Structure 1
């Protein structure tokens, strides 16, 4: 989809769908101007109550006279001045309505939206991000498409402002929003792929594909023999149960100055998680293909960063493996030595994400990073604590934690900080090794964070648990693309 920003008169826009916004008073300048040309037809619909005044309510007007647009989509702003949270609902509603409208192009007159708590550039970025995902679908494996009229795909969207003031800033914001949307789409695609397609080597191939034509991005991957030489036996204790070879993928984006310390984004990439010998229940196990959504979010964020050409050094890492039961898989009670030299008693093979991540966190030391952020569908306990709305965050550095939390609020992709404290860390004690890989039934998300923290003494580090936010179940089953917006906004905030 192509998204453009231009200045012009909404009345004169030749488009299949003109999107207008109006509040309860109905006195917005663009709306009233267009309404006047239609002989008051649009305001009459609003006054009659056809458009309910709640943020994000929509009304498609299939035909209008007096203007060049073929139809008008009216969007309610609500009874009060909208805030950022309202805008997210409004923009999602616009994207959904355009997706179902069977139009090839649309013009969105956004001047009538002013937010109480965000500026115009934020508004344009978020609008572009939502619109870029309007046509997203995952139907690669449908041999027969839905029985419906030929679908007209939305291919061109114009974000329209009345004057030229701030036009260049709006174009930059829209480009950022579209790039974030493209990154989210990639993350969704990867998450939705079945486990028999999306293997560790498939993720390596996707990273290399991303690097094609991107002069600032180089990619390499370590196989199991290379990891064995490095002493990454914690990682290998997971991958050895599968016939699919584990991969440690490194994407090195050199957009900043030579010598500037890079940010490291590290994603958990368990491409399918059976639980290993500690086998998961069969019901719902198909959703364990989503256990690589941390990796997907890193790939998505790197796509956005490359597309925007950001002037910063970023390293994207993916710890990719399958967790399978087999005769040579790890067993509860096994003891392994991590790359750091610390030993781990594996009490539960279903706590495997931390076993691959800990060696990757040690490997990250060689980059002398400014900060490391790992992203993982790590614990079901995070869903118990925070549900499906907010990601969990833990960190050994207050400044880094606050930066990520702030980025999440700006991006509408929120996280909540959980504590890391000695009393939780003590739950990882083992009688036979330096630590156990689980800390018992209490505070499972936090003890998982404490485990990872033992491998991050050399740099500022944060862990984001996305078990509750990376995908949706039920009728809307599918990957969400989170936390790509949070990650990209965090990187943008470092510029």
Structure 2
């Protein structure tokens, strides 16, 4: 039997707490129903303030909860909890600190601290990857709102479920999430929410002259796939779509430029961009966001073999540009190049690509945010606004000609897949991708920095693959569609 957890307006960014204090006996936890509610920091009189629903619950138990809070210790800090036992109706009641009431946008942190998103935080916080084990997986707690909440709760659940779906795809072992399996999984899930899915094979890519994409696929025995997904949410089905492009390397050894063995297993999640695209489409369709979306995902493995691309090889991309491949571990930009050019050949509102592209981005940002490069100030501002709303932040980097010169001023080809200068690896990678978007409005999200979670950076996301920044992408699309 799954445990049931009822939520009273707790904060998404406070729900996944780092510590908790308990008051009562642990044996009471064997019962199956619990309650979580929020507590704001003290007001001018020095008293902590329960949320409105929390106050109503406190009244229903004759003020017992507020008395317990006052006698249990100092003021509860933001992100901390205390758990109480013995209150009527529930085996345990947890109180989560929400910080000061009435907080708004923090321009130093680039985040709206006043937003409460209980459904998102709760459903992200209790989820964990449970892989193929011989023992039956433990059921996850069932999360329900304590009181009726209209569409806010169901919308939050849809966003969290989408991110959890991306987390599952990313954490699944590579032998169980090959390009073919990924494509079948995406088609199975998206067809249920009326998203059209086409799965293209290697012959199709050859016919499209996607030499850059196919150069990465040569070393693997697993056949490549190219996903094309269409969601028609706008009232006019012919209106220009937002195009989402995701890197889909289902396992990355580095190819002939072999990676060191330490943590190579994490490269099962090098299809994080693809996972985020599919998950975002799933949520957009579920929420019926009034906008048209096209999703494009090149899928393959990057493996060493006698057929694999060698350092120094030159290939021709779909747009006719030649590329000298000096590092086969810089493969993400190669598969994205043809996908971006394919996207640019049809009318579009904006192309947004996302990829676990460079380790340099993690060096720059740690796990605090995803890096963004864009040729549009307007679209960047919309994405930043969305990230402030969701708490899953983004940070902009430059697309200067300085970086373009580092990948284009070479003697043997039009472009090199790595920059010739020291440092700036994320910027030269973005400059490379820029060569394949034509005149389209475009944003590139380097999500390598937010690929995984140790369980401490974002307290409501447990250890494993993070599925970020799905909720920010959903919010971005909602804004473009004219909804909240």
What TM-score, normalized to structure 2?
0.85
Structure 1 partner of 2:353: 374
CA distance, structure 2, for counterparts of residue 368 and residue 27 of structure 1: 52
Structure 2 partner of 1:98: none
Alpha carbons of 1:80 and 1:406: their partners in 2 closer, same or farther (altered >3 Å)? Answer: closer
Map 1:117-156 to 2 at 5 A: 118=114, 123=116, 126-144=117-135, 153-156=140-143
Q: Which deviates further from its counterpart, 306-315 or 136-145?
A: 136-145
Map 1:69-108 to 2 at 5 A: 69-78=90-99, 81-83=102-104
CA distance, structure 1, for counterparts of residue 66 and residue 346 of structure 2: 60
Deviation track 1:216-254 (CA, whole Å, cap 9, x = no partner) reads x11112211111111100000000111111111111111
Taking only aligned residues, the RMSD between alpha carbons, in angstroms, comes to 2.7
Structure 1 partner of 2:203: 225
Map 1:160-309 to 2 at 5 A: 160=147, 170-215=149-194, 217-256=195-234, 257-309=236-288
Structure 2 partner of 1:18: 35
Deviation track 1:7-52 (CA, whole Å, cap 9, x = no partner) reads 9xxxxxxx93333322331344554554455454323332234464
CA distance, structure 2, for counterparts of residue 350 and residue 6 of structure 1: 48
Deviation track 1:168-221 (CA, whole Å, cap 9, x = no partner) reads xx5222222111111111100000011111111112101210233333x11112
Q: Give ranges in structure 2 of 5+ residues lacking alignment.
A: 10-31, 457-461
Structure 2 partner of 1:432: 412
Structure 2 partner of 1:324: 303
Q: 1:417 aligns with which of 387, 396, 399?
A: 396
- Contact 2:5/2:35 (CA < 8 Å) preserved in 1? no
CA distance, structure 2, for counterparts of residue 474 and residue 345 of structure 1: 40
Alpha carbons of 1:16 and 1:82: their partners in 2 closer, same or farther (altered >3 Å)? Answer: farther
Q: 2:423 aligns with which of 430, 442, 449?
A: 442
Q: Using the TM superposition, give the Cα deviation of residue 353 of structure 1 relative to its aligned residue in structure 2, in angstroms.
A: 0.3
- Contact 1:345/1:430 (CA < 8 Å) preserved in 2? no
Structure 1 partner of 2:470: 484
Deviation track 1:302-329 (CA, whole Å, cap 9, x = no partner) reads 1111111222110111111100001111
CA distance, structure 1, for counterparts of residue 135 and residue 139 of structure 2: 17
Q: Give ranges in structure 1 of 5+ residues lacking alignment.
A: 8-14, 89-114, 162-169
| More relative contact order, 1 or 2 (CA 8 Å, 6+ apart) | 2
CA distance, structure 1, for counterparts of residue 241 and residue 366 of structure 2: 32
Structure 1 partner of 2:15: none
Alpha carbons of 1:243 and 1:474: their partners in 2 closer, same or farther (altered >3 Å)? Answer: farther
Q: What SS does the corresponding residue of 1:265 show, helix, strand or coil?
A: strand
Q: What SS does the corresponding residue of 2:448 show, helix, strand or coil?
A: coil
Structure 2 partner of 1:101: none
Alpha carbons of 1:6 and 1:436: their partners in 2 closer, same or farther (altered >3 Å)? Answer: closer
Q: 1:451 aligns with which of 432, 436, 443?
A: 432
CA distance, structure 2, for counterparts of residue 300 and residue 276 of structure 1: 28
Alpha carbons of 1:116 and 1:420: their partners in 2 closer, same or farther (altered >3 Å)? Answer: closer
Q: What SS does the corresponding residue of 2:405 show, helix, strand or coil?
A: helix
What TM-score, normalized to structure 1?
0.83
CA distance, structure 1, for counterparts of residue 405 and residue 143 of structure 2: 56
- Contact 2:244/2:277 (CA < 8 Å) preserved in 1? yes
- Contact 1:224/1:247 (CA < 8 Å) preserved in 2? yes
CA distance, structure 1, for counterparts of residue 367 and residue 445 of structure 2: 14
- Contact 2:7/2:35 (CA < 8 Å) preserved in 1? no
Q: What SS does the corresponding residue of 1:449 show, helix, strand or coil?
A: helix
Alpha carbons of 1:322 and 1:152: their partners in 2 closer, same or farther (altered >3 Å)? Answer: closer
CA distance, structure 2, for counterparts of residue 56 and residue 35 of structure 1: 21
CA distance, structure 2, for counterparts of residue 431 and residue 465 of structure 1: 28
Structure 1 partner of 2:12: none
Alpha carbons of 1:402 and 1:78: their partners in 2 closer, same or farther (altered >3 Å)? Answer: closer
Q: Which deviates further from its counterpart, 389-398 or 32-41?
A: 32-41
Alpha carbons of 1:344 and 1:409: their partners in 2 closer, same or farther (altered >3 Å)? Answer: same
Deviation track 1:384-420 (CA, whole Å, cap 9, x = no partner) reads 1111111100011111111111111111111100000
Alpha carbons of 1:340 and 1:152: their partners in 2 closer, same or farther (altered >3 Å)? Answer: closer
Alpha carbons of 1:46 and 1:445: their partners in 2 closer, same or farther (altered >3 Å)? Answer: same
Q: What SS does the corresponding residue of 1:373 show, helix, strand or coil?
A: strand
Map 1:398-409 to 2 at 5 A: 398-409=377-388
